Structures are given as structure tokens and as C-alpha cells.
Structure 1
Amino acid sequence: MLPPWQTGKVIRIENETSSTKRFWIQVQELERFDFKPGQFVTLDLPIHEQKNKRWRSYSIASWPDGTNVFELVIVLLEGGLGTEYLFNRVEVGSELTFRGPAGVFVLPESIERDLFFVCTGTGVAPFRSMTHFILENNVPHQHIYLIFGCRKFGDCLYGPELKQLEAAVPSFHYIPTFSREEAEGHLVRTGYVHQVYEEICKEKKLEKPEGNYPAHFYLCGWKNMIDEAKQRILALGFEKKDIHQELYG
């Protein structure tokens, strides 16, 4: 059963990059807005007469913290009616109609394997939520690898925050990789996300030759990246049940 439509008030907006904004939305009729990290909300925007052409879904980028505020991170799509409305018409104090939380792209009940969070663009949103939730609530876990594919340095969402987190938490590994930048020594990964998780998995398998290396793969981003990742992960010897995905577009 779908949750009912609710009203949220935009209480803060920040530019994250030249084409990406962060929106903080408060659900004033609730004391706390509860959700599972990885879930999404659907906005009903006044951009079309047909209902289903007004709906836009976005992963929640914040994590459950006991308040009635959640955050969305949204990239401007050229010619996209939804994002153009959000970027040009919505301001602090605007009200948005939304439904949620929804979705089953969530963490396992107990985290007994390494987690690979593989994403491109705003696909980092659910993984930021999951990572903070695990670390701030001291959820028992293994290693977390957040592998974030970007084109240019300026596309790297939440970069300083995630670097700080990596420096503070030995089990968390933040690995941005840039497809349209030149390598600068060993500090910058260039290329695509696929080489990164393949290298890590091959090293882990060498450490444990007697059995399979256990891991969960969570994929979030554009279809081409996800399709290629699924093929490569299966080729590494993992099974379909080890792969979880959230598609954009």
C-alpha cells in the first residue's frame, strides 16, 4: 500500500556543484520523519496536467536522525521539466507535495560481508545515507567501499565530507574515480568505477584462496554503468543475489 501524499516545506537550499543543488525539506506535520537508508521519496510537481507526468523520484541523501527533516541532492537535467522547476521556481519557504519513503534498496538486516557501494552522479545519495547511518549508530559491519564515478573534479558530490569520514573511520574507504581528468600521482584515480572494485575483489580473493570472498554490491546510477557492473561482478564469481540495484533514468 502506497503511503499518502504529504506536504514538506523547503527550509534550506545550497549549491553543491555548478549543476547540482541540495534541498532540505521539513515535514512539519510530523515530529520525526522515519525512513530506511536507501529509500526514496516521490515529488508531485505542478509541471503537467497528467499525474504520472508530474512525479519525480529522488533518493534521500540524509540519514534517519530523529528529526522531521530530510535532504535531497538533485542534478539539473537540460530540458528536464522536473529539475528546471526545482532549480528555477523553488526557494526557501516553498512547499512541495511528496509521497514516501518507499523502496527496497536498503541494507541487509545484519552486515556480515563487505559492502561495495558503486555509483555515478547523484547515485551517491543513498550510499551517503547508508554510510552515515552505519557509522553513527555503531552498526556492526565489515569494510565499506564507496566507489564514486565522476567525470571531472568539480562533479564530486560530498567530496570533503566523505574524505573526512574516511580519515576518521578505518573500515570506510572512499574511492572517487574520474573519467575525464589526468592522473596526478597516486592520489587521484582516473578511469571508471569497474576497474576499482575488480582490483579490490581480486586482491581479497588472493587473501582467501580457500573459499569465496563474501560481499554485497549495491549499484546506483545510470543504466549503462549498472548493466556493465552486473556483468563484471558475475564474471568475478559472485551471484545475482549478491547484487542490489537502483536505476536512474
Structure 2
Amino acid sequence: MIDETHNTKRFFFEIPSSTDFQFEPGQFVTLDLPIHEQKNKRWRSYSIASAPNGTNGFELVIVLNEAGAGTTWLWENARVGTEILLRGPQGKFTMPKPLEQDLYLICTGTGIAPFRSMVQYVHEHQVEHRNIYLIFGCRKFNDTLYGAELRRLQDELPGFTYIPTYSRELPDNNLLQRTGYVHQVYEELIKQRSIEHQQAGGTGLSPAKFMLCGWKNMIDEARQRLVAMGYDKKDVHFELYG
């Protein structure tokens, strides 16, 4: 385990029965935690935060919910060597194939987990892609998850842009760091890309796919805004956290 922020930990798991834990970036696993007598009340699901790498290991990033039995048990009981039953991988919240259009990865909090997996995978496997924008929203600088890593990936991966957005902080001199909420960021990018699209001979909005992960209020608002801008609902995929 590694403390990522004051209330978020990175947990590293190994599957002893496998030498190669295969999953698609964006999928999740469900942990069976000893927090209730009824089996169906023990399951807790978390997106995998690492990319598949040919080993039996993977990573989860989990925020402490002090009112939640699952994360409280993990904080108080999980140690190196702790055995936890799980099922998975599961889920269809995975990257479009092929990546023929701009891809907007919009998230809040630990909703960044599946997107970190995706960007790592694109980088490591040199997947052909157009522009990828990862817009990460949180409250304060010390809530940032994987910030240094994603800035490094931005330097190494052509076409990838990482934009952290803080609702309760003023930006520093980093022009790609924003104050406010994620909605203003993706709307500005869409307008800019649509102008470039039209200048290149296209019409209307710049073709794009959108993936949303995080707090329900953010996802509900983003879906409404994107459809209001003119995008089809089928171009907007989402996964809720909490």
C-alpha cells in the first residue's frame, strides 16, 4: 500500500493462481470483504488503476469513506500478505476501438483510475490515436492523484494532454492547470477543436468520443451539456463512483 493523498491509498494485488492477470483498461474487480454476514453485502467494486502488463498484479486506488464499511475495513486491516477474495475482471467501460476520433476522458476523484489504465496502455503499446484529453477535477492541490506521472506521460505521449482542474485553488503559472470545474475545460477544448475541424474543411462539431467517470453530479451535468452542444448520447459513456 502507498498513501497517495491524505485520504487515498494505492493498493497492489497479486493473483496467486495466475501468472498473467488479463483485463482491458477500464475494467473493474469486485472485492469480497469480511464486513457482513450476507455475501451480497460484502462486495465492493473498484476500477483497476494500472494497465495490463503481462504479470499477475494490478493496482487499485481507493478513497476512504469514513461512513463506509468497505474502505474502513481496508484502512484498518489490509496489510502486506492479506488475502482477499475477488471476482473479475468485469465491465464494458473500455476504450473505443480503434481510436479514430478525439477522446475526452473526464473524471473527478478516484474516477481517474480507469483513465490512468487507458493512457498507460496507449503509451506502452504505442496505440495509434488522435488527441486524448484527460481532464481531472478535484478540490485542492493535495487531492491530486497521479499528477507527476501524468505530467510525465504528457511529455512522452504525442497527442495526450493532461489538465488538472481545481475547484478551491488558484492556478499557478502552469497554463494547463485550471481553476473551476471540468465542464468549462472540455467545452473550451471542443470549441477550439471544432474551429480547427471546420478550417480543415469539415462541418459542425469536431468528431469525438467522451468517457465520464466520477461523482454522479458531474456525470449528470456533463451528459446534459454534451448533448446540448450537439453530440449524440451514444458518443458519451460513463461510470459512476459513489
Using structure 2 for the length normalisation, give the TM-score.
Answer: 0.96
Aligned-residue offset at 1:102: 0.2
Distance in 2 between residues matched to 1:175 and 1:238, nearest whole Å: 22
Counterpart in the other structure of 2:160: 172
Counterpart in the other structure of 2:180: 191
Counterpart in the other structure of 1:5: none
Distance in 1 between residues matched to 2:75 and 2:108, nearest whole Å: 21
Q: For the aligned residues, what is the CA RMSD?
A: 1.0
Letter in 2 for 1:24: F
- In the TM superposition, what whole-angstrom CA distance separates every residue of 1:130-178 from its partner, at most 9, and x where no partner exists? 0110111011110110000010000000000000111122311000000
Distance in 1 between residues matched to 2:51 and 2:173, nearest whole Å: 34
Within 5 Å, give how 1:1-249 maps onto structure 2: 13-185=1-173, 187=175, 188-209=177-198, 210-211=202-203, 212-249=205-242
Distance in 1 between residues matched to 2:58 and 2:228, nearest whole Å: 38
Letter in 1 for 2:187: E
Q: Percent identity?
A: 60
Structure 1 unmatched runs, 5+: 1-12
Distance in 2 between residues matched to 1:183 and 1:72, nearest whole Å: 29
Aligned-residue offset at 1:52: 1.6
Letter in 1 for 2:212: L
Structure 2 unmatched runs, 5+: none
Q: 3-state DSSP class of the match of 1:95?
A: coil
Q: 3-state DSSP class of the match of 2:189?
A: helix
Aligned-residue offset at 1:186: 5.1
Count matched residues.
237
Q: 3-state DSSP class of the match of 1:229?
A: helix
Structure with greater proportional strand content: 1
Quick one: structure 1 residues 159 and 238, their matched pair in 2 at CA, closer, same or farther if it must change by over 3 Å?
Answer: same
Distance in 2 between residues matched to 1:67 and 1:198, nearest whole Å: 39
